[in-house]
Amino acid sequence: MADDALVIFTPSGKRGRFAFGTPVLTAARQLGVDLDSVCGGRGICSKCQISPGYGEFAKHGVTVAAEALTEWNAVEEHYRSKRGMMEGRRLGCQAQVMGDVVIDVPPESQVHKQVIRKSATQRDIVMDPATRLIYIEVDEPDMHEPSGDFERVSKALAAQWQVEGVEADLAILRRLQPVLRKGAWKITVALHKGNHDRAPRILDLWPGFHEGGLYGLAIDLGSTTIAAHLCDLRDGEVLASSGLMNPQIRFGEDLMSRVSYAMMNPGGDVEMTRAVRETINALAGSIAAEAGVDPQAIYEVVFVCNPVMHHLLMGIDPVELGQAPFALATSGSLSLDARELDLVAINRAARVYVLPCIAGHVGADCAAVALSEEPGKSKDLVLIVDVGTNAEILLGNESRVLACSSPTGPAFEGAQISSGQRAAPGAIERVEIDAATKEPRFKVIGSDLWSTEAGFAEATATSGITGICGSGIIEAVAEMRMAGLVDQSGLIGGPDQTGTARSVPEGRTHSYVLHDGTATGGPMILVTQGDIRAIQLAKAALYAGARLLMDEMGVDVVDRVTLAGAFGAHISPKHAMVLGMIPDVPLDRVISAGNAAGTGARIALCNVGARNAIEVTVGEIHKVETAIEPRFQEHFVNASAIPNAVDTFPELSKIVTLPDVAFNTAGSGSDGGRRRRRG
Amino acid sequence: MADDALVIFTPSGKRGRFAFGTPVLTAARQLGVDLDSVCGGRGICSKCQISPGYGEFAKHGVTVAAEALTEWNAVEEHYRSKRGMMEGRRLGCQAQVMGDVVIDVPPESQVHKQVIRKSATQRDIVMDPATRLIYIEVDEPDMHEPSGDFERVSKALAAQWQVEGVEADLAILRRLQPVLRKGAWKITVALHKGNHDRAPRILDLWPGFHEGGLYGLAIDLGSTTIAAHLCDLRDGEVLASSGLMNPQIRFGEDLMSRVSYAMMNPGGDVEMTRAVRETINALAGSIAAEAGVDPQAIYEVVFVCNPVMHHLLMGIDPVELGQAPFALATSGSLSLDARELDLVAINRAARVYVLPCIAGHVGADCAAVALSEEPGKSKDLVLIVDVGTNAEILLGNESRVLACSSPTGPAFEGAQISSGQRAAPGAIERVEIDAATKEPRFKVIGSDLWSTEAGFAEATATSGITGICGSGIIEAVAEMRMAGLVDQSGLIGGPDQTGTARSVPEGRTHSYVLHDGTATGGPMILVTQGDIRAIQLAKAALYAGARLLMDEMGVDVVDRVTLAGAFGAHISPKHAMVLGMIPDVPLDRVISAGNAAGTGARIALCNVGARNAIEVTVGEIHKVETAIEPRFQEHFVNASAIPNAVDTFPELSKIVTLPDVAFNTAGSGSDGGRRRRRG
């Protein structure tokens, strides 16, 4: 009779023969099966729970007897009585193989568990965080073997976890001796994996077995807003998401004005660096409070940002990014100590990873979008547009990926718009204008009702109707065009031309009254000629960038479009296409990916392998510089009109028909330099 | 006719054939000949000067024609006119091979030049410092190849100097862009070699070709004094040597009293850490000022110290070192940033290397002695004694090296001695006592005259005669024994027993009047019974440690003795042997190695390979723990007497004959517990 048995693990399908008495955890490790353990098989952590299957397994060709594993033991009973355990589960470190057996590893027992997408726009993330907890038992000191305590910790990590050459800074060495003695030579360490040939590093340590949380921040540091996700590094769960305005706005709304501020004001870059670091500390504190997490348990931060924000965060004067050839001080990824960035709100040993930049105008945020959306793995040709104060644009498929950045300015985010505001309760986010009556209806953030529906006034009583956010202004302008209130050059017609009293004169131009709240003490919300011009400039920049990449790729059409950006999530594809923000594709081929840069940051936070992957990918992305490309200017000029898109893109005729109007007013001189297409 | 030629380099003897037109520097590099260059062959630095030989070289079998190298060129002429150049020298990067040639590389053109010993006690050091200057030419940024400036610096280092994977911290990245532009894409970097698998690192950078100094500090951090050498990292020259008292003395004179201070006073360790770091900063500043060097040009610091000082320097509570099993927090070498130790007086990017400790009582200072004295390379059995507040003792030869530490206390350094003082002008350092008259004569530091010689009073008028330093008290006690003023138990005889009025009563014991300066307002300098007891305890500890190692090695005699320690340099071997400080060997086999720990620090500072070497060596040294070894106590008790050494060690009879006296006084009860050997 054999004294070994066949062990089959599911769902991996890995199998092997093991001597009787082999613990299931040992078998799993030898086969490379993904079975978690913090305590290393000592029956303390219960992370290695497994579900043995019994009976006939025709698929695997085995029959599992009831005695295939050793009996339920005292360690398991102790754990179940104290903490509870699902029926049918065993501890992999306690149950030993005594016959052929099929072992299922439930998702929560896998180290590299997948964080399943919660919506279509969310990527699955395979958990493989840089930092994890590890329990070790350390040899006691011995006068005849006079190694230091740290050297014996290092030896334990090598022997018990195959972690070689661990390092620790002085702050850890300072705490090591009392912790070892308090834990009676058993400790738990927060271990940061080495990457880029760096040694693994102990970030924290506790006496005995420690089960505390390990958290990380994924931060999308934008020109206008700083958005953060607080993630549990054990299971990838997003515990809180929060944002703050970038305090650098007071130094300049867009990137180039901040570069100018640094150039004009000696020490201005230092001032901006301090401001953004302070705000990140504040954000880390508030998001931890929101999630009910100790900020000292935050051990990892991943940043994605555009090149100017990147340099200002690092404390590098961004002046070179303001002039050709737009040289980055460094383009590679950065691995830093959090305290090098003065991030004092979180654990002092916390590590920071900053994604690589693609080029002087195409930053780590674009790299993060590439990590999240993976254009290089797409079979069809995808155009990815990350709309922010700068638009990051990627175009590509399996064979080639191109990237550029286009200076759209903050109009799409509601800034530089007369009634513009951040997307917050009270902001108009959806707009429809009746083509016949020219009367609008709208929705505001915080209510699902249209302004014409019963109960709207009550629903918005608290927030009021305060302004228009980015998606609102895009819809408003597109609807005005569709209703014949705006001609293809972008001019708003006067009341005699449009036939509605909502067209009101404003200097030598006209504005459209979207909402008049003055009767109830609220604001008058107008779409002015200036607003239309701001949106035209922004959308022309965006469109020109996309066209430039299409030229470089040698194509006239793309297969699909992904709208990304915190704001991209709220853009209506139809209105974007009416405006001419994006090239025409069938409407069902336009998807919104939400904050793809933030998702990319979250992927890099939860999976250390993704960091290496994006560093390779970034090297393969071909970057196109809009600032020096004459065709960009040409595309830009051509794209400033809001043409009768139906002419150009028959696809659009299924959605809308644009009126063929043209308003000529005395005040339209500002548009003189641009070519206009007339119907 | 061949279009290549034979090139022979001396003194290395390396040879090879090279195509006509090959620069001599290129040939040297390809053959691995040690020819220096900072600029990488661009005719800027002139470090690659060579001396071609012409005519018949029978030894090498070649005849060198006058036209064996290309003609003196404009670059060489420019350099000679500006900076001067020795007759017959050429620049290796300019002179090209055009025929068989013999090239001598003068010592100053070698990277790994040897620092030749200046005295018998100084080790030759082969220069291979961790940090050196390197000149590079960096590609300009290009919008079509959008790498960061740092990435192009990294590329230049790889291409021009085969330095791969360089790193730089944020402070360097912050300065990189303006420096590159100011230098028109030519810069000089201070590059720190990677060791222990760490990446090479840029510590500083300058526009263009920079010739400034690079300096390092070798610091021997002792319990009582902190001694530093300021070295030029280019040629190893010691520009200044200086020392300060360890300010921790106010917390306790010896190591154990400092450990007690830390145990008894919460925060006491932090206080001691701050004190020592402040003093190191002060010392760095003053030694740089003394040498006329900018402290910002100090890029390297090497520390050697005992385990307690090691922990207090690192900011680690030394409490575990005060009790068995004397566990070090870490025993390995440490590579740190200077700012982690608050060393703000030197360059902020400076790197610190701390030699490994051997055991809880045997520190990095002992490792440094091993590095300097290399007992493991000795064919005969050498005993090395580094005398300080703790004595570090090494015994070994090629086959095995043992080490221990023995708590001698500060008596040998003049502390705890009634008239004791630091070795400084005015201190009595040499003593002779006439065996017949019992009258002493002595020398004081600052004068070469004996006190009985004419002109002595004038020569010592400025300093005065202020006390006795360590070497003086050893000679005084030994001379008193030889003159029959002290018996073998260590008792000082009364005037009736010794026949001299210089024996004066003091309580129930006697003192010996070495010098009475009271007539001229100076001090009365006595050797008291307490002084003799302190020296007896110290020498017994030292001797017992040495004997313990000899037991472990299974020997009764050693072949030679090396006295090390700042103080060891001044000990008279004869007197040391009379006292019984060291085992008996022929007097000519006792040498003084000066401050061997400081020399070891200097070797590790100037040669990065030596760091790896000592780390390996330390692992091979077998450490003997005196504190738990019963035989140590036994040896200690046996060694407290000052025996008639002639009985035990006939060798000593060639030097001295000790009188066989024994004084019994009522006050000698304090010696009662110890076994005495009587003649």
Query: What sections of A410-528 are H helices per DSSP?
Result: 456-459, 470-482, 495-498
- The pLDDT assigned to A477 comes to 94
Query: What secondary structure letter does DSSP report for B491?
Result: P
Looking at per-residue pLDDT, the higher value among B657 and A384 belongs to: A384
Q: What is the pLDDT of residues A535-549, one digit of tens each?
A: 999 999 999 999 999
- The pLDDT assigned to B34 comes to 86
Average pLDDT over residues B631-644: 84
For residues A652-663, one letter each, b for 16 or more C-beta atoms within 10 angstroms of the residue's C-beta and e for the rest, the string is: beebbebbebeb
- The pLDDT assigned to B646 comes to 47
Find out whether the peptide bond into A11 is cis, omega within 30 degrees of 0.
yes
Find which of A261-270, A308-317, A488-497, A618-627 is predicted with most confidence, using mean pLDDT.
A308-317
Judged against a pLDDT cut of 60, whether residue A668 lies above it is answered with no
Two tokens, residue A129: 């965080």
In order of A24, A32, B356, the CA distances from A163 in angstroms are: 22, 16, 22
Q: Which residues pair with B5 in a beta bridge?
A: B18
Contact list, A336 vs chain B (CB under 8 Å): 170
In order of B413, B424, B445, B450, the CA distances from B429 in angstroms are: 11, 9, 6, 11
Pairing mode, strands A4-10 and A509-516: unpaired
How does residue A603 score in pLDDT terms, banded at 50, 70 and 90?
Answer: very high
Alpha carbons A616 and A611: distance in angstroms, whole number = 9
Q: Which residues, other chains included, contact B227 with Cβ-Cβ below 8 Å and sequence gap of 6+?
A: B219, B220, B241, B242, B243, B566, B595, B598
Calculate the dihedral angle through the C-alpha atoms of B20, B23, B26, B28, rounding to the nearest 10 degrees: 90
Alpha carbons A390 and A626: distance in angstroms, whole number = 12
Pairing mode, strands B622-623 and B400-406: parallel
Catalogue the long-range contacts made by A291-295 (C-beta closer than 8 Å, 24 or more residues apart). A291/A230, A291/A239, A291/A240, A293/A213, A293/A215, A293/A230, A293/A239, A294/A213, A295/A345, A295/A346, A295/A347
Q: Please calculate the CA angle B209-B213-B219 and round it to the nearest 5 degrees.
A: 150
Judged against a pLDDT cut of 50, whether residue A58 lies above it is answered with yes
Query: What sections of B450-517 are H helices per DSSP?
Result: 456-459, 470-482, 495-498
- The pLDDT assigned to B114 comes to 66
- The pLDDT assigned to B491 comes to 92
Q: Which residues, other chains included, contact B348 with Cβ-Cβ below 8 Å and sequence gap of 6+?
A: B171, B338, B339
Alpha carbons A126 and A123: distance in angstroms, whole number = 10
Average pLDDT over residues A380-398: 91
Judged against a pLDDT cut of 90, whether residue B606 lies above it is answered with yes
Alpha carbons A133 and A138: distance in angstroms, whole number = 16
Average pLDDT over residues A118-129: 68
Give the mutation candidate from B174, B321, B333, B334 for the A interface (greatest A CB count, under 10 A): B174
Q: Do B317 and A177 touch (CB under 8 A)?
A: yes
* Cβ neighbours, 10 Å, residue B576: 25
Judged against a pLDDT cut of 60, whether residue B678 lies above it is answered with no
Contact list, B143 vs chain A (CB under 8 Å): 324-326, 359-360, 625, 628
Q: Which residues pair with A216 in a beta bridge?
A: A231, A300
Q: Do A174 and B141 touch (CB under 8 A)?
A: no
Least confident of A410-424, B14-28, B426-440: A410-424
Residue of B nearest to A317 (CA): B174
Q: Do B325 and A143 touch (CB under 8 A)?
A: yes
Identify whether the C-beta of residue A336 lies closer than 8 Å to the C-beta of residue A351: yes
Q: Please calculate the CA angle B475-B478-B479 and round it to the nearest 5 degrees.
A: 80
- The pLDDT assigned to B544 comes to 93
- The pLDDT assigned to A124 comes to 75
Helix (H, G, I), strand (E, B) or coil at B232: strand
How does residue A112 score in pLDDT terms, banded at 50, 70 and 90?
Answer: confident
Q: Do B149 and A328 touch (CB under 8 A)?
A: yes
Average pLDDT over residues A500-517: 92
Q: Which residues, other chains included, contact B567 with Cβ-Cβ below 8 Å and sequence gap of 6+?
A: B387, B388, B412, B413, B423, B470, B471
Q: Which residue has the tokens 């440690």?
A: B545
Identify whether the C-beta of residue A558 lies closer than 8 Å to the C-beta of residue A585: yes
Identify whether the C-beta of residue A537 lies closer than 8 Å to the C-beta of residue A358: no
Least confident of A667-676, B169-178, B343-352: A667-676
Average pLDDT over residues B549-559: 95
- The pLDDT assigned to B408 comes to 84
- The pLDDT assigned to B673 comes to 34
Give the mutation candidate from B138, B166, B170 for the A interface (greatest A CB count, under 10 A): B170
- The pLDDT assigned to B568 comes to 66
Average pLDDT over residues A281-297: 95
- Gap from A321 CA to chain B (nearest CA, Å): 11
Judged against a pLDDT cut of 90, whether residue A12 lies above it is answered with no
Average pLDDT over residues B94-99: 94
Helix (H, G, I), strand (E, B) or coil at A289: helix
Catalogue the long-range contacts made by B571-576 (C-beta closer than 8 Å, 24 or more residues apart). B571/B387, B571/B470, B571/B471, B571/B474, B572/B430, B572/B471, B572/B474, B572/B475, B572/B478, B574/B478, B574/B655, B574/B656, B575/B474, B575/B475, B575/B478, B575/B479, B576/B474, B576/B478
Phi then psi for residue B203, to 5 deg, are -95, -25
Two tokens, residue B132: 């050196």
- The pLDDT assigned to A536 comes to 93
- The pLDDT assigned to A410 comes to 77
- The pLDDT assigned to A46 comes to 85
Q: Do A170 and B144 touch (CB under 8 A)?
A: no
Judged against a pLDDT cut of 70, whether residue A673 lies above it is answered with no
Q: What is the pLDDT of residues A181-193, one digit of tens each?
A: 999 999 999 999 9
Q: Which residues, other chains included, contact B78 with Cβ-Cβ below 8 Å and sequence gap of 6+?
A: none
Alpha carbons B555 and B535: distance in angstroms, whole number = 26
Identify whether the C-beta of residue A495 lies closer than 8 Å to the C-beta of residue A504: yes
Least confident of B507-511, B525-529, B573-577: B573-577
Calculate the dihedral angle through the C-alpha atoms of A397, A403, A407, A410, rounding to the nearest 10 degrees: 50
Q: Do B170 and A144 touch (CB under 8 A)?
A: no
Give the number of residues written for chain B.
679
- For the entire predicted model, the pTM comes to 0.82
In order of A311, B591, B652, the CA distances from B576 in angstroms are: 65, 12, 11
Contact list, A315 vs chain B (CB under 8 Å): 170, 174
Least confident of A179-183, A240-244, A448-452, B608-612: A240-244
Give the mutation candidate from B269, B330, B624, B626 for the A interface (greatest A CB count, under 10 A): B330
Q: Which of A528, A626, A648, A487 is nearest to A577 (CA)?
A: A648
Contact list, B327 vs chain A (CB under 8 Å): 141, 148-149, 177
Average pLDDT over residues B222-249: 90
Dihedral sign computed on CA atoms, order B199, B201, B207, B212: negative
Calculate the dihedral angle through the C-alpha atoms of B293, B294, B300, B302, rounding to the nearest 10 degrees: 60
- The pLDDT assigned to B123 comes to 63
Residue of B nearest to A198 (CA): B198
Q: Which residues, other chains included, contact B320 with Cβ-Cβ below 8 Å and sequence gap of 6+?
A: A149, A177, B326, B327, B328, B329, B360
